[in-house]
Amino acid sequence: MSDKKKRIVITGGAGFLGSHLCDRFIQDGLKVFCVDNLITGNLDNVRHLWKDKNFEFIKHDISKEFRLGGHVHYVLHFASPASPVDYLNYPIPTLKVGALGSHITLGLAKLKKARYLLASTSEVYGDPEEHPQKESYWGHVNPIGPRGVYDEAKRFAEAITMAYHRYHKIDTRIVRIFNTYGPRMRIQDGRVVPNFIYQAIHNKPLTVYGRGAQTRSFCYYSDLIEGIIRLLRSNVTMPVNIGNPDEFTILEFARLVMDVSHAKSKIIFKPLPVDDPKQRRPDITFAKKYLKWSPQVKLEDGLQETIRWFKQNIAR
């Protein structure tokens, strides 16, 4: 059966990455069921798809029982608060969607004999003692710290996904997503890219935590989506890092945002949040070898597009 006749469920489909996945699969001719409780998702991200006969939005908390009639060929579990502000505001829903939501979506995949893809995260590595981080690294996570609700939810989600794969023979994939940016990020979601862009386009001081020596790597959304598609269509069942290995200190990144946006801002420094990772950079050797994937969009180019989108959608 060609993909054009297939049906796909995307949880968190009205979110930043979920909505771009909806776009991609609609473009590829699949029937898309977008499931989102809108706790952090935004209907505006998928409103342009409402009139498409192959798109259906279902408002639902995937941590609760979910049923869908007919065949399902793919289940993609992307539902979760994904920024420190969100999962500190919603600690219990974050844990529930990682645990109960994963259980329910895996059950759906089992019932429908569908291929399953879990959106995991580089946060499973915690504050890493290995750099860059390979998929074989087990992580360094504080399970009872404030960030633990997200880190451990995703680590549990990976564990139950592999358990369903081994015990129930479910066809599963796990993508470990590193810092990603682009249009449709929420301007006030607390992550470094929208924070800096919001501050820069308003000529407000850019807030850097610590001395800005902590590092991050930034992958443009279109590169990430391509990596996810390649993983979904591959035979790789173990977790795969998808991200951009180009590494910047937060202070370097702040200056780049100011340069690209032509901001007149200054930089101010505040104390580091609890358990904030000091380093974050993916080793993408596995993705290069088995998915033939590597990021293509330069950071400056991606930032220009993202800043343009934020200026047009600043009220959101």
Q: Which residues pair with 249 in a beta bridge?
A: 215
Among all residues, which ones are annotated catalytic?
150
Tokens of 59: 């408002």
Which three-class secondary structure state does DSSP give residue 55?
A: strand
Compute how many other C-beta atoms are within 10 angstroms of the C-beta atom of residue 107: 16
74 backbone dihedrals φ, ψ, rounded to 5°: -135, 140
Q: Which residues pair with 66 in a beta bridge?
A: none
Q: How far is CA 190 from CA 99, 137, 196, in A?
A: 24, 27, 10
Q: Is 255 left (phi over 0), alpha (psi -120 to 50) or beta?
A: alpha
Sequence-separated (6 or more) residues with CB below 8 Å from residue 86: 40, 94, 189, 190
CB 234 within 8 A of CB 288: no
Tokens of 281: 């950079």
Among 114, 128, 118, which residue's Cα sits nearest to residue 156? 118
Q: Is 139 left (phi over 0), alpha (psi -120 to 50) or beta?
A: left
CB 122 within 8 A of CB 150: no
Tokens of 184: 């449709």
Q: What is the spatial distance between Cα 305 and Cα 132, in angstroms, rounded to a whole number?
A: 28
